[in-house]
């Protein structure tokens, strides 16, 4: 009984082994990639010749619009350029430098190094500059900016016409000694007239003259406050209060004097009248 049963078991085991081997062989045949047969690559194509320009050769760039006026892109580019150099132009070619220096020296004379802050002084100097130079700026706009935007003048003509009022204004407030200084520093010959001085020489000479005038006004502002400091220091020394800082005692008297004489009005009035 046991022998036939054992033979049957071995027979079934052999059949299962053969079936497993056949199934594994089929799976291997399905997953093995087939080799592609290379095809004919064909004849190579040579590079083409250069394209012939249809415009007759050369490149032309037109910066004007269809009606002869400057295009919006050029106007935008000029505006961005002017905005980038506006701080330098404001400092060098206007009354801003003198006004700001005088206001800063008045603040230092009061022994208030941060009151008013620099932003307030710069804003006041900016609007005073616009107030003083408004006629000049209006003339620059009339002679240079408007003709160029209207297309009736080229950029060079507009620049020359627009800079003439500014040149005349700077020459009026520039000392001849400062002009001679810049001419000697550059090794240039003396011009036939001040009007023939170029802008490269005129601008630094104008700035030197403005700084000189600002320091003169600042010196006049310092004198009364210096007297207050001397009086307070002498009083403290006579009372034996040498450890007490004189600035602490003199500061209220300086502010009181500045308010009583209407110091801001006096300074601003003197600055405006210095350009009349």
The alpha-carbon radius of gyration of the chain (Å, integer) is: 44
Q: Which ranges constitute the DSSP H helices of 141-245?
A: 146-150, 155-172, 176-186, 199-238
What the block records as the tokens of 7 is 């033979």
Q: How confident is the model at residue 52 (pLDDT cuts 50, 70, 90)?
A: low
Per residue in 224-266, pLDDT (tens digit) is 998 888 888 888 888 877 777 777 888 888 899 889 988 899 9
DSSP state letter for 80: H
Q: Which residues pair with 70 in a beta bridge?
A: 64
What is the rounded CA–CA span in Å between residue 215 and residue 221? 10
What is the model's pTM?
0.66
DSSP state letter for 144: I
For residues 136 and 166, is the Cβ–Cβ distance under 8 A? yes
Per residue in 129-172, pLDDT (tens digit) is 999 989 988 888 888 888 878 778 777 788 888 888 888 888 88
């Amino acid at each position: 009984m046991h022998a036939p049963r054992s033979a049957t078991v071995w027979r079934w085991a052999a059949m299962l082994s053969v079936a497993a081997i056949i199934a594994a062989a089929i799976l291997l045949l399905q997953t093995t990639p087939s080799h592609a047969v290379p095809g004919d690559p064909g004849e190579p194509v040579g590079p083409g010749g250069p394209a012939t320009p249809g415009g007759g050769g050369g490149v032309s760039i037109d910066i004007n619009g269809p009606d002869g006026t400057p295009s919006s892109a050029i106007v935008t580019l000029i505006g961005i350029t002017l905005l980038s150099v506006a701080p330098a132009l404001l400092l060098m070619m206007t009354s801003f430098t003198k006004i700001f220096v005088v206001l800063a020296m008045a603040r230092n004379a009061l022994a208030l190094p941060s009151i008013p802050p620099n932003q307030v002084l710069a804003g006041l100097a900016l609007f005073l500059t616009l107030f003083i130079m408004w006629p000049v700026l209006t003339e620059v706009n009339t002679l240079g900016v408007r003709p160029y935007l209207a297309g009736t003048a080229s950029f060079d003509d507009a620049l020359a016409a627009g800079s003439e009022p500014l040149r005349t204004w700077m020459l009026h407030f520039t000392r001849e000694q400062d002009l001679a200084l810049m001419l000697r520093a550059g090794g240039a010959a003396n011009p036939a007239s001040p009007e023939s001085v170029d802008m490269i020489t005129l601008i630094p000479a104008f700035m030197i003259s403005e700084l000189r005038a600002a320091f003169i006004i600042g010196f006049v502002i310092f004198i009364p406050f210096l007297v207050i400091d001397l009086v307070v220091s002498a009083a403290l020394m006579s009372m034996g209060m040498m450890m007490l800082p004189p600035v602490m005692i003199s500061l209220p008297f300086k502010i009181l004097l500045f308010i009583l004489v209407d110091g801001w009005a006096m300074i601003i009035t003197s600055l405006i009248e210095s350009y009349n």
